[in-house]
Amino acid sequence: SSTINETDRIALLAFKAGITKDPFGVLNSWNDSIEFCQWYGVTCGRWHQKVTILDLSSQELSGSISPHIGNLSFLRAMLLLNNSLGHEIPSQVGQLHRLRSLRLDNNSLVGEIPKNISGCSNLVYLFLQVNQLTGEIPRELGSLSKLRIFASSVNNLIGSVPSFIGNLSSLEILHLMTNKLGGSIPQVLGYLTNLRIIGLGQNRLTGTIPSSLLNLSSLANFEVGDNQILGTLPESMGLKLPALEYFSVFENQLEGPIPPSISNSTKLVALKLGSNKLSGSVPSFENLHELLKLRIYNNQLGSGKPGDLSFLCSLTNNTKLMYVQIEVNEFGGVLPKCIGNLSTTLTTLLMQANQISGEIPKVIENLVGLDRLGMTLNYLSGNIPSNLGNLQNLAMLMINSNNLQGTIPYSFGNLTKLILLKLSKNKFQGQIPSHLSNCRSLILLDLSNNNLSGAIPPQLIGLSSLAIILDLSHNHLSGVLPIEVGNLRGLTSLDISNNLLGGEIPDSLGDCTSLTTLRMGGNFFHGSIPQSIKSLGGIEEMDLSCNNLSGQIPEFLMIFHSLKVLNLSYNKFQGMLPREGVFKNATGTSIIGNNELCGGLPEFHLPNCISKGSKRRKINIIISSVSIIFGVLGICLFLALICLFWLKKRANKPVSSSTDDSCPNVSYGTLLKATDGFSSMSLIGVGSFGSVYRGYSRVLHLGCHGALKGFIVECEALKNIRHRNLLKILTVCSSIDYQGNDFKALVYQFMDNGNLERWLHPNPTSSHSNELPKKLNFIRRINIAIDVAFALDYLHHRCHIPIVHCDLKPSNVLLDAQMVAHVGDFGLVKFLLGSSLDVVANQMSSMGLRGTIGYAPPEMFTGLSPTDDRFEDNLTLRSFVTAALPERALEITDHILLLERESRFVPNSPQHWLSESNGIFQECLVM
């Protein structure tokens, strides 16, 4: 007997020798000081000193299992789970004929499952999961008729689910999840009448689900998710599985509808149908009172029409519901108000990527247990209900990519447990509420692509909890980037691009040492890149494009080894472009739009930089050049003095020329011939101090009082003004005629369509009476008025010295071939030296009346415009005319406008159209 006992002691010491690490020292007691039956983890039989149980679970032991373990012939349980044992499972385990429980799960064992494990004929529990076992499941395992649990999940097993498992008539639990098993699920598994749990998920299984399995009335847990299984769910499934508690077929390729009979599986706790191709409407779940998790996401459920979400109302009697995931489907309609009656135990409600419309119902505040609410990518509209801030357990709120508007509720500041807030891609307006800084657990904040304005709250951007993303891009935010940005030491991505931010980049940005992405493009930042940025050693992407940044590109950007994308385009950087680091990558670096940069790789197409040696040579060249230039200038100066002396003598002679050497010289005889002797047939009109002849030339009547002064004023006015709507002067002529009288004329550009007077008021008695009648439609009149307004705006506000025309009338508005208006006749202009148009009335009143009677603006006399209040009861001149001539507007209206208006009415137009149109037309005429 002592010899037999010695065998067990030696076997145990051999096991201890195979252990290389014993952090808790549990094997320290394994020595000769005490009997081995008293060693830690060793249990012996009551009637004999033989080891029956070896339990060293969860001791973090490392090493291998000694082959001598097979000598423990009375061993019934080997419990070595939750350690770090490696190497292969010794084949000697197959010698343990009395072994009932073998637990080697959660170790680092490798190799194949020993074939001779079939020698453990009394084995009931075999746990091998969470190791690194390889190979196929040995066929010999099929002889273990007493086996109830076979768990070998999370390994690297290959092959198929063997059909010999159908021989394990006592099997209750089969766990082979997370391996590399392929093929189809054997039909024989449905014949294991004791089978309660089957887990084959996360493998490479194909084919369909055997109908025998879904008829197994004992089945409580069915897990085949994350495979490539095809087919449909049988209609009677719920009727055949009364004990079903857990049903998971997610991430397969199942089609068809969800069977309405599923509601008969009243013990169902979790229904996971996500990521398939299921379609149709969702049935009622009113009998599933034990349901905790409903996951039907990523299918083709729903029709995009109202009523798709009515199934949610069938869940209102469930008081245990915790998860509802219906995202990525085709559900339409509005959120039913019954959603507020769901259980307060609900923690997750995800509805993203559907076609849900309407407003967020206010009753959602009843779901006080919610910690995750997702409604991204829908068609939700209206304002966010402010009572959403009452969901104080909310940790994740995702309602981005909708049509929501209004302002971000200040009540969001009450969501102190919030860690993720996504409101991007909506139409939110107003300022970012500073109360968001109360969300001190926030690690991700995305408010991008909205219409937010105002400054960035310093309290928010200084929220040190932000550790993943802060995205405020594509808004209308203004002001500066607060220095509190330096508090974001844990932030990895900062995006404030495409806003209206300005000022200099704060030095404190360099304190954000965890940044990997920095986007600040599309703003108005100026100044240089601060030296503190060199602290951002982990940066991978930096975009500072489209700003007003200047100075040299810092050399420290070259030493950012992680930097892969750098965009500095469209700024004002200058100097030499570095050639190392990210600047070696012309595809990852953009510097276009910086015209003062030089050097760099040839791929950047920048000019060469001037070296110091080149600068010296250039200075020598400049000195030599300057000497030559001064010599030439001395000669030119001498020649210039001679020319000036000659010109002075020439100036004393009477000449007939234009006001500028570049103007063509025109003599009196040339003008006489061009106007046919200044005949009446060439006469176009008579101005303030002269007559206008076809050509165009305007001959001054020097006998008229003020004519000579008007000539000088007009020359002075036309000398420095240029505008497309002002009449262009070509040259002037100052000479004597054939009778010895002084003759002065201005020669203008020819205007093909004459003046506006002849278009508005043709004179049948004039020399041009043989011309066809001229018609100006309403659009052309508007365009002419706009052209004249542009000309006056130029004279009043755009000239170096403001000018008032003082004689604006139709005969002084000339029309070219394209009917573009040009204002002419500047003989009466007034220069407002040191004055503004606001005081022109005082000047005019001291000068007396100027211009043509009937066209002088009333401002010259009163200082008031036609829209100013000058009558009692706030009655303006415009409203006075409107009231005075309501019935006579059509009598004084140009008949051409009336004909044009009538031509736009089709025959048999309704009478109420005509009457309404008459009212609108008359109202416009007196405006």
Catalytic residues: 807
| β-strands 541-543, 517-519 pairing | parallel
CA angle 765, 771, 774 (to 5 degrees): 100
From residue 113, how far is each of 82, 375, 737, 738, 894 by CA, in Å?
18, 48, 127, 130, 106
Q: In angstroms, how far is CA 909 from the centroid of its own chain?
A: 50
Check: CB of residue 142 under 8 Å from CB of residue 168: yes
Token pair, residue 336, equals 């039913």
User: What b/e sequence results for 135-169 when a residue is b if at least 16 CB atoms lie within 10 Å of its CB, and e otherwise?
Assistant: eebbebbbebeebbbbbbbbbebeebbbeebbbbe
Q: What are phi and psi of 584, to 5 degrees?
A: -75, -20
Give 609-633 as a DSSP string.
Answer: PPPHHHHHHHHHHHHHHHHHHHHHH
The helix (run of H) or strand (run of E) holding residue 454 is: strand 451-455
Backbone torsions φ then ψ of 161, nearest 5 degrees? -75, 110
The rounded distance, in Å, linking the Cα atoms of 784 and 782 is 5
In 741-882, at which residue ranges do the beta strands (DSSP E only) sit? 742-748, 803-804, 813-815, 821-823, 830-831
Q: How far is CA 727 from CA 399, 450, 457, 696, 882, in A?
A: 62, 50, 56, 10, 35
Which region, left, alpha or beta, applies to residue 41 given φ > 0 means left and ψ of -120 to 50 means alpha?
left
What is d(CA 529, CA 481) in angstroms, rounded to the nearest whole number?
Answer: 14
- Say if residues 896 and 775 touch (Cβ distance below 8 Å): yes
Residues 6 or more apart whose Cβ sits within 8 Å of residue 559: 534, 581
- Partners of 755 in the beta sheet? 814
Single-letter amino acid code for the residue at 796: H
Query: Which residues make Cβ contacts (< 8 Å) with residue 582, sequence separation at least 6?
Result: 557, 558, 560, 563, 564, 565, 566, 588, 589
CB atoms within 10 A of CB 795: 23
Largest CA distance in the chain: 162
Q: Quick one: tokens of 328? A: 């990525």
Q: Give me the residue label for tokens 């206010």.
A: 362
Torsion angles phi and psi, residue 342, rounded to 5: -65, 160
Helix (H) or strand (E) holding 663: none
